[in-house]
Amino acid sequence: MRKSNNTDFNFIDTIGHFDTYQLLFPKKLESMVIIALFVRQKQGKYPDGLFGEEDIHALFSTYGGTDVGKGKPYQRSINKEKLRKLLKFFLNYDEEKRMYYFQSYGTAICELMEKTLEGLIKPTDIGRICQNLKRELITAQDDEDELIQWFSISLDAYKNNLSQQTDFLHKQIDNAVSKLRKDVLSEDKNPVELLKTVRDDLTEVQEKNRELRIAFQDVDGITNDLNRIDTENIEIIDYVDKTNKFFSRINSKLRSTDNRLDRIQPKIRQLFATLSRPEWSAKTEKFIHFLLKNSTLKKVKNNREIVFPKEIFSFKKHIDTPRLITFKRDESLFPTPTKPRRKYGVNPEIQKQNKQELQQEIDELKRIEVWVSQLLAELDKDGQMNASEAFFRVLKIDQDFTIASEVYFDLIEKVQQQKKFEVNVLPQESVMGEQTKSILWKVMIKRK
């Protein structure tokens, strides 16, 4: 529903309009004044959140470097203009009381900045949030509507805070390390002091991370309870899945923060040790240059090896540890003995019989070949042939039905392959052979 209201609103166009952008993001001096007002208001310096114009001018003076004694005259009229611009989004003027107070944009942006830079929620708060969430989940888990409410309202309200807190710690390490990098390279800073600060910063992050981990202990309980929910409601299943992923992301982020700190701390300490001895660092650099300049290459076998100047010995890393000879039964050298194979002797009688049978088969094949070529020759000569009669002729002479039928089929197949003849089957006429009861339809082969 809300989306349809937004159709005529274009965020980018609006923010780029006239000087809206500048009014939303004022310059450093104005911003510092706003932030200082915000801080003072939080400290309770302004009853009912109301402050006077003089308070604002005093802050302009402080942050503009025009404090009494600094010699720079205070430009009241210019700052009045700046104040006027702040009235658009940041401050309001109460005409009755003639006092100023914060607009919601001013408060919200200051809170966001503060939260981002410092991490608003204390680990103990997170612990409390998790405990509350768990308690609410237990009461809601038997009612699907309440469960959905738990996901969409109770949990959602804290999700941002929880992940913001973990992100914040991660960022804190980055800041500490980049501060260190930047300042190591600039020579006007006292490196020892600097390193101490960075180390303290990191120790603080580590401590906070540890507390945070403890605070998140209840998360395990929440995920266990979630996984016990037995439902077929797709919305709830979807929520459970998303929540599990959310908590697992938070846990892995906390773990990775821990790991990063574990890895960085020793290096910081080493850096600290090195930088506290600038002479040693300078000499180390000279040493590296010396090695690179004065080492030579010597041919050893097919390689060229680096030889250090004679004053610099090579590093001996270890002595020859005994290489124990072990015995392993190598399959290729000691193959498993083969099992004796059973031998079957030749039975000459069976062998002879098999040979005879085989020979008979071959003879039959040859006989068929002879018959077929003879019949083809006849057909070539006469131009036509009664194939059925030919069958009975073969049967009569050879007295073998198999040969006769093989010849008959072979003949018809070959004739058809040659394509010069046509085969006609005449079912109305039948052919009968002598000395046999078989009857065949008349099959005539004729030259085309």
Partner 1 sequence: MESHDQEKIDYSFLLEDDSKILFGKLDYLLKDGMHIQQFNNTSKYMPYLKLNYKHLKHYYQELFGVSLERKGFDNQLYYYLNYHSKEQAQMDESHKYQLKNEDIIIGCVMYKIIYLDGNVELNSISDLKKKVSLDYEEYEEGLIRLIAKSKEGEKLKEDDGNIDEAIDRALRDFKKLGWVDYEKDHFELLPSFERILLIYEDVIKDIDNLIKKYQ
Q: Where on the chain is the footprint of partner 1 (CB under 8 A)? A: 177, 180-181, 184-185, 263-264, 266-271, 274-275, 280-281, 283-295, 297, 304-309, 311-321
State the minimum distance, in angstroms, from the CB of residue 130 to partner 1: 30
State the minimum distance, in angstroms, from the CB of residue 325 to partner 1: 16
Q: Which amino acid is at 247?
A: F
Closest Cα partner for 189 from 264, 282, 278, 268? 278
Q: 144 Cβ partners below 8 Å, 6+ apart?
A: 231, 233, 236
Nearer to partner 1, 291 or 358 (CB): 291
Q: 448 Cβ partners below 8 Å, 6+ apart?
A: 419, 420, 421, 422
How far is 270 from 251, CA to CA, in rounded Å?
30
Nearer to partner 1, 29 or 271 (CB): 271
State the minimum distance, in angstroms, from the CB of residue 256 to partner 1: 12
Q: Are strands 296-300 and 439-447 parallel, antiparallel or unpaired?
A: unpaired
Nearer to partner 1, 177 or 412 (CB): 177
Q: How many CA atoms lie within 13 A of 61 on its CB side?
A: 18
Q: 166-184 burial string, b = 16+ CB within 10 Å, else e?
A: bebbeebbeebbeebeebe
Nearer to partner 1, 295 or 353 (CB): 295
Nearer to partner 1, 281 or 347 (CB): 281
Report the run of H or E that residue 414 belongs to, with start and end.
helix 401-418
Nearer to partner 1, 231 or 295 (CB): 295
How far is 351 from 13, CA to CA, in rounded Å?
103
Nearer to partner 1, 1 or 300 (CB): 300
Nearer to partner 1, 25 or 280 (CB): 280
Q: Residue 355 to residues 205, 279, 348, 360, 361: CA-CA distances in angstroms?
A: 96, 104, 10, 8, 10
State the minimum distance, in angstroms, from the CB of residue 185 to partner 1: 7
Nearer to partner 1, 54 or 320 (CB): 320
How far is 36 from 416, CA to CA, in rounded Å?
110
Instruction: Calculate helix-pair angle for 123-140, 156-185, nearest 10 degrees.
Output: 160
Residue positions counted in the chain: 448
Q: How many CA atoms lie within 13 A of 253 on its CB side?
A: 19
Cβ atoms < 10 Å from Cβ of 434? 8
Q: Which amino acid is at 73?
A: P
Based on its alpha-carbon atoms, the radius of gyration of the chain, rounded to whole angstroms, reads: 51
Q: 104 Cβ partners below 8 Å, 6+ apart?
A: none
State the minimum distance, in angstroms, from the CB of residue 81 to partner 1: 45
State the minimum distance, in angstroms, from the CB of residue 208 to partner 1: 20
Closest Cα partner for 262 from 162, 165, 173? 173
State the minimum distance, in angstroms, from the CB of residue 39 to partner 1: 33
Nearer to partner 1, 317 or 420 (CB): 317
State the minimum distance, in angstroms, from the CB of residue 258 to partner 1: 14
